[in-house]
Amino acid sequence: MSELATDSPAARGVAAAGSDTRAVFSQTMGLVAVTTGFFALGAYVGRHLTYGWGWAFFIGAFASLIAMRYAVAKAGPGAVVLLLAFGALIGLAVAPTVAYYTSANPAAVTEAGVATALAVTALGGIGYGARRDLSGLARAASWALVALIVFGIVAVLAQVPNGALIYAVVGLVVFSALTAVDFQRLRRSTDATTAPLLAASIFLDALTIFDNES
């Protein structure tokens, strides 16, 4: 009787969904790793650039991210190419800043990188293993992100005391929540075509956490 239950269409469907989820997870995390490599390459190549170039590369990265959404909708290989271009462009955009901090205090950059890896691993485990629906947390974190952006602009214009510290702490909390949410989305995804977008989201979460910790 148990063998029949195991071989039932419902059981086969659950097994197939689980296999699809594992495949999407492997593909997404592989893309995150490769994107990180392209980011590191961009940061190295652009280490001698001036800060003015950063804005141009940021615009290019943003354009790649928008184009990626259209490429994912067409389910073509272009989405992966755009994801890697996005990683490289972001690396070029922040290259002067990374070069400055690396030369000024390389130990702090290394510590921030290790702390980011541990934090993302822990938050990913929480989000991936959570049985409770985190969509409410996603909405709250999204609104908090909008408020944080507004606060950042006000803090710069009005020179709010300790504004940078407040921005960093709140940003760390917001993107920690978004990281857990993105990993729950990853656990529930069975469509491999969404892997590039999921990878971009997780990569940006990790990059922002690294920036706030450093």
pLDDT higher than 90, residue 192: no
> Is residue 73 scored above 90 in pLDDT?
no
Average pLDDT over all residues of the chain = 86
Total tally of structural domains belonging to the chain: 1
Span 38-47, mean pLDDT? 94
* Range of the structural domain that residue 85 is part of: 2-213
The token pair at 203 is: 């990569």
Contacts of 129-138 with CB under 8 Å at 24 or more apart are 130/180, 130/184, 134/180, 134/181, 134/184, 135/181, 137/177, 137/180, 137/181, 138/177, 138/178, 138/181
Per-residue pLDDT averaged across 17-22, rounded?
70
Tens of pLDDT, residue by residue over 149-163, are 898 888 888 888 888
The pTM (predicted TM-score) of the whole model is 0.84
